[in-house]
Amino acid sequence: MTAAHGFARPPRIGRALLTAVLLAACAPLAKPSCAACSGRVAALVHAWAAAAAPAGVETASPLAKWRIVADVPLPGPPARFDYQSFDTTTGWLWIAHMGAGEVLAFDVRARRVTARVPNMPGVTGIRVVPSLRRVFASLSGDHAVAVLDSRNGQVTARVPGGRFPDGVAYAPQAHKLYVSDERGGQELVIDVPSSSARRAIRLGGEAGNTQYDAVTARVWVAVQTREELAAIDPLADSVVARVPTPGIRRPHGILVDADHRFIYVAGEENARLGILDLRTMRIVRTYAVGGEPDVLAMDPGRRRLFVAAESGVISAFVARGDSLVPLPRYEVPHGHSVAVDPTTHLVYVPLENVKGKPVLRILRLE
């Protein structure tokens, strides 16, 4: 496919080389079946693509498959999960069990729950900040943000605010927390040292997810009813830029890839994923994903992007420059939240109801 369809154009190769590849694939088979021939061609073409790709960039293998590593039972009733946040310093994965009103800490090394925090009504967004030993959880049912000790899950503060607090981002230079208030059409601002609310920032529309760009020290929030992304200066607590997202209807989930200067933004209304180039402030490409995309996660080492949707589809891609190369999808009921361990590359998907019980499904895509 051409770049106009959202796929990177591969390097050109000569007809003779392509013919040689096909012959090499089929020649050793006395009576090659179509399936066998196709498999050999796919493997050789993938090898050629890997050799042609830039150093350090993974190529999308047509032979990659999703495999279930484990289904680990989780406590609580079979109810909806929401965001997750991974602490690379402890190996603890913090999970919002929204329907149960709990926050769970899961040790990915021991594969067991190490903390269970009750009285978290309607918990949605969650963000661990290892340098502070703090976990921040937005409580849509309590109209507040809870502050937890990341060593044991103990609640240290509750900061009231918002009609439906959701996505959470931390701006370290300003020592402030930013929480998207979806129904309130604003960005909540919390002074972290004092655990106190500051004046909220009006967005002019419903707020989707919130992310921090460490390169420019800006907070980005999806303003879904305006079909744009808004950039906030944490020092001034004001919107300093608004960027439209053409082709992405009702943008909700976003992920900032600060090092490579991209924002990945998902439109929950038209099931499209867009790439916003932060150098040009334009959407450069869009891709199809599952219906009502919600949570995005990135494996930085492998440059793999995962997009989990309310429809139960987890779309996977390899990031290559300003393009994405699709990998096989994974489909499972209620699989709308995804996280990835950057060390082991394992993918974590909490599922609300597997044979009547909640489980944490651990997956590998190889």
- What is the separation of C-alpha 205 from the centre of its chain, rounded to a whole number of angstroms? 23
Same domain flag for 219 and 78: yes
Q: The tokens 């190529």 sit on which residue?
A: 59
Same domain flag for 148 and 266: yes
Identify the DSSP state of 13: -
Same domain flag for 152 and 8: no
Same domain flag for 92 and 196: yes
Same domain flag for 155 and 247: yes
Same domain flag for 122 and 29: no
Q: The tokens 């994923």 sit on which residue?
A: 273
Mean pLDDT of 17-22: 40
Nearest-angstrom CA–CA distance, 348 and 363: 6
Whether 296 is covered by a domain: the verdict is yes
Whether 323 is covered by a domain: the verdict is yes
- What is the separation of C-alpha 221 from the centre of its chain, rounded to a whole number of angstroms? 14
Whether 47 is covered by a domain: the verdict is yes
Whether 85 is covered by a domain: the verdict is yes
DSSP letter for each residue of 80-147 = ----EEEETTTTEEEEEEGGGTEEEEEETTTTEEEEEE---TTEEEEEEEGGGTEEEEEETTTTEEEE
Whether 57 is covered by a domain: the verdict is no
pTM, entire model: 0.85
pLDDT number for residue 35: 42
Same domain flag for 88 and 162: yes
pLDDT digits (tens, 9 = 90+) for 162-176: 999 999 999 999 999
pLDDT digits (tens, 9 = 90+) for 5-16: 333 333 333 433
CB 329 within 8 Å of CB 314 = yes
CA torsion angle 161 166 172 173 (round to 10): -60
- Measured between alpha carbons, how far is residue 129 from residues 5, 99, 141, 168, 328 in Å? 38, 24, 23, 11, 32
Same domain flag for 264 and 355: yes
pLDDT digits (tens, 9 = 90+) for 289-343: 999 999 999 999 999 999 999 999 999 999 999 999 999 999 999 999 999 999 9
Position 65 pLDDT exceeds 80:
yes
- What is the separation of C-alpha 311 from the centre of its chain, rounded to a whole number of angstroms? 16
Whether 294 is covered by a domain: the verdict is yes
Same domain flag for 73 and 164: yes
Same domain flag for 18 and 149: no
Domain end (from 29, 52, 75): 52
Same domain flag for 175 and 117: yes
Same domain flag for 37 and 186: no
The CATH number of residue 342's host domain is: 2.130.10.10
The C-alpha angle with vertex 330 and arms to 94 and 355, in degrees rounded to 5, equals: 70
What's the domain count of the chain?
2
Quote the domain boundaries for residue 21: 3-52
Whether 175 is covered by a domain: the verdict is yes
Whether 58 is covered by a domain: the verdict is no
Half-sphere exposure of 241 (CA within 13 A, CB side): 15
pLDDT number for residue 231: 98
pLDDT digits (tens, 9 = 90+) for 102-141: 999 999 999 999 999 999 999 999 999 999 999 999 999 9
